[in-house]
Amino acid sequence: MPTPGEWSRFTVPRMADGKPNLNGIWQALVQANFNLEDHEAQAGPYTELMGAYSGEPAGLSVVEGGVIPYRPEALAKKRQNFENRMKADVSRDDTWHDLGDPEMKCYMPGVPRATYMGHPFQIVQGNPDFLLIAYEFASASRIVRMNWKEEAPGDFWMGWSRGRWEGDTLVIDVTGQRKETWLDRAGNYHSDALRVTERYTLVSPYHIMYEATIEDPKTYTRPWKISFPLYRRMEKNVQLLEFKCQPYAEELLYGRFNKKP
C-alpha cells in the first residue's frame, strides 16, 4: 500500500486522441477556502445567533513552504481585507467591488479559488481543441482553449484559460482575471497582474493531483505554489446540483434600496 502522498502505478485511461481522460465530477477536501495557510478552528460571525453553525474548521496549509510570500504593503492589505470580509457597500460605483469577500456577495470565485471552495466541479473533455470546467458554486464555468496563442482580450471573473498537455499532465495558464477576486475567506488576494499556472495529473482512477503556481509581482515577492489531491465523486447518479446564490446576497447588497412603508 502506498503511504499518504504516494501513488501506485496504474494504466491511465485515454481519450480517442490518446490524451488522459479526466472526465468526471471532482472535489477538493482541504480547508483552503477558509485560509490557504495553517489556521486554527475559530468562531465565525454572529455566534450569538448561530452558535457553532458559523464556526470555521482548522486546516493545514496547502502552500508550498507554508506561508504566502507577500510584499509588506500587500500583507497589510490582506489583513485589512480580513477585517472587512463581512462588509459590502454598493453606494459608490467605483469601490463597491473592493469591500468584503466576493464569495459572500456571490461573485464568481476565480481561479484557483473555484477549485477548493468545498463544492464539486465537473471536467467535460471531448473536443481536443476545447475543455469545459463547470463549477457548482454560482454556476460558474470556464472554457479551456487548447494550444491557443491569443492573449486575454479583457478581464473576466473566471479569467482566460489556455491549455496544453505536458506528457500526461494537463497544464492550464490563466490570465485576465479581475483583481477583485480573493483567494480565500482570510483576505488573501492578488492584483490585476495575476497569472496562475495549473497542473492536473491523474494519479489513480479516483484521484487527480492538482498544483497551481501563482505569480503576481505587484503583490508577492516571488511565485508560489499550492497543491492537494482532487477526489472523484463516486456516488450513484452523482451530478452537479445548482447553487445559485444570488438571491441569498440580494438583501445584503441592495436591501438599502428597498422601498420602505
Mapping DSSP to helix (H, G, I), strand (E, B) and coil, where does residue 230 land?
strand
Could you count the other beta carbons within 10 Å of the beta carbon of residue 156? 18
Residue 198 exposed, middle or buried by CB count within 10 Å (0-12, 13-18, 19+): buried
What is the separation of C-alpha 186 from the centre of its chain, rounded to a whole number of angstroms?
A: 14
Domain count, the chain: 1
Say if strands 141-146 and 160-166 run parallel, antiparallel, or are unpaired.
Answer: parallel
Residue 78 lies in a domain: yes
pLDDT of residue 99: 84
Residue 89 corresponds to which cell in the numbers above? 457597500
Residue 48 lies in a domain: no
Residue 7 corresponds to which cell in the numbers above? 501513488
Residue 2 lies in a domain: no
Residue 42 lies in a domain: no
Could you list the residue range(s) of the whole structural domain that residue 155 is in? 24-37+57-255
pTM value is: 0.93
Q: Alpha-carbon distance 129 to 150, whole Å?
A: 14
Residue 241 lies in a domain: yes
Residue 167 corresponds to which cell in the numbers above? 506528457
Residue that the C-alpha cell 493545514 belongs to: 60
Residue 17 lies in a domain: no
pLDDT of residue 89: 76
Q: How does DSSP classify residue 21?
A: -
pLDDT of residue 82: 94
Q: With a cut of 50, which residues of the chain have pLDDT below it?
A: none
Residue 226 lies in a domain: yes
Residues facing 220 on adjacent strands: 70
Residue 209 lies in a domain: yes
Collect all residues with Cβ–Cβ distance below 8 Å to 154 and sequence separation of at least 6.
Answer: 176
H/E stretch holding 251: helix 246-254
